Chain A
Amino acid sequence: MNEDKKIEEAVEVAEVVTEEKVAEKVEVAEKPVEDAVDKAAVELSDAEVNKEVLKMLDESETLALAGAAIENNELEFEIDGQLYRTRKASYAEKQKANNFRMKKFTHLLKDADCLLEKDLKKLYKDRGINLDNMDKEIRELTKQQQNLMLELGKGIKAKRAKPELEKYKEEIINITNSIQGVALEKQQLLEFSLENRVLMELYSYLIWMVSEKKVGDKWENIWATYDDFLNTKPGKLLTEVTQKGAIVIAEELQATN
């Protein structure tokens, strides 16, 4: 009996000790988890701060870029001490680019894999996507938007109370979003059309023509030929040139002089 009692007591003590040890272990195990959570929280806020800083830097960079783009029809930049620029295309360069566009169009027209917008539209129609209906929808939404804008403008002119006009504003925003959604969908569907490919090539060609580096007192083409430009490895120079070139040549062939 005594021996049994001793065993029971020993088991009880052992259980208590084990429980204490388990509790200790849990505490030890939980602490790093808590620490990790705290650390993660700190890191998350750091990440958020970093994101904000990056956003601010991005905004200030965009502002600086916009300021430079407004000031002049050429954008200068420096990489490793070398001065570069992208500038507005001259009349002769635009003519050359137009010729390039025509040649490219004719060349791609012979390619059976390249589809014209109208052919793509037919294919999409067979698959149940009607691009003409999208155009119709955009036109109808634009008409609605214009009518609402007239109503809102009339209300503003009549100095009606702002809360009365809020509903027009909300409706205009909703319609604008719908128009943008449909237009974006249509643009994505026609992304690989022949016309779009020609346009992409044209802008690439224009960027090559208007990208220059300063040699002494003169500005010279960065790449002697268009093929040299196409074969350039991706890097800072190519990024800067395409980014700034896109700003300077935006809608170049449509822009008035």
Chain B
Amino acid sequence: MTLNNLALFKVLNVIRSMAKSAKYQLLYSQYKPAGTGIYKNKTDYTKIQLDFLRYLIFYSNINTDIYMDEVPEWVLEDEVYEDAYSYYRSKERKKIQKERIEANKKHMNPNKSKDKNMPRTVSNTHVVFSKPKLRSLSKTKKSSRR
């Protein structure tokens, strides 16, 4: 490993513990509503700054969950615990989000329900506000000619 890579490697290791510290978590909670005001530069972030921001969010989420008593405090004792919990948390959230989207889709298009035995319902509002499709118009024209 070359000298410059070694310095980068060390810095990348350090920023995680810095983001976890009370000092930076407090700073993040203060600047959170106003965006990323924790940096001197307002745009054009470096990789280190973006990684640091990700870690700030990562620890802020864990701290919130500890405060909400959703997870024991000892999760912060080891980075493996932190990573595992956050990984599980994000997977669960994605699963819930996917289920919600599916449920919304079913609600919006009840006729597209996979269950063929389910009775097909058409809401009145759907008919009132829907525009006639071009293809159906051409079909009606052809049928009127006949």
Contacts and interface: CB of A to CB of B under 8 A. Distances in A.
Determine if chain A interacts with chain B.
yes
Interface in A49-72: 62-63, 65-67, 69-72
Interface in B88-130: 88-89, 91
A88 interface: yes
Question: Interface range on chain A: under 10, 10 to 19, 20 to 34, or 35 or more?
Answer: 35 or more
* Of listed A72, A73, A154, residue having the most chain B CB within 10 A: A73
A217 B70 CA distance: 54
Contacts of B31: none
Interface residues of B, number: 39
A165 B80 CA distance: 11
B64 interface: no
A73 B47 CA distance: 9
* Of listed B4, B38, B75, B80, residue having the most chain A CB within 10 A: B4
A40 B45 CA distance: 51
Interface of B is mostly: helix
A173 B70 CA distance: 25
A247 B7 CA distance: 8
A247 B48 contact: yes
A251 B45 CA distance: 12
A150 B40 contact: no
B80 A70 contact: no
A242 interface: yes
Interface string B34-56: 00001111011111111010000
Interface in A217-257: 239, 242-252, 254-257
A67 B52 CA distance: 11
A134 to B, nearest CB: 20
A156 B5 CA distance: 35
B46 A153 contact: no
A107 interface: no
A150 B5 CA distance: 32
* Of listed A70, A245, A250, residue having the most chain B CB within 10 A: A70
Contacts of A247: 7-8, 11, 46, 48
A73 B44 contact: yes
Interface in A124-159: 146, 148-150, 152-154, 156-157, 159
Interface in A166-207: 168-169, 172-173
B52 A88 contact: no
B84 A255 contact: no
Contacts of A146: 87
Contacts of B15: 66, 69-70
Contacts of B74: 162
A255 B46 contact: yes
Nearest to B50: A255
B3 interface: yes
* Of listed B8, B43, B72, B91, residue having the most chain A CB within 10 A: B8
Given A67-B18, A150-B91, A242-B3, A156 B46 contact: no
Interface of B: 3-5, 7-8, 10-11, 14-15, 18, 38-41, 43-50, 52, 70-72, 74-75, 78, 80-81, 83-89, 91
6 contacts: A73-B44, A150-B88, A156-B71, A162-B74, A246-B7, A254-B47
Given A150-B88, A247-B46, A254-B47, 8 more contacts: A65-B7, A72-B40, A165-B81, A169-B81, A242-B4, A246-B4, A247-B8, A257-B45
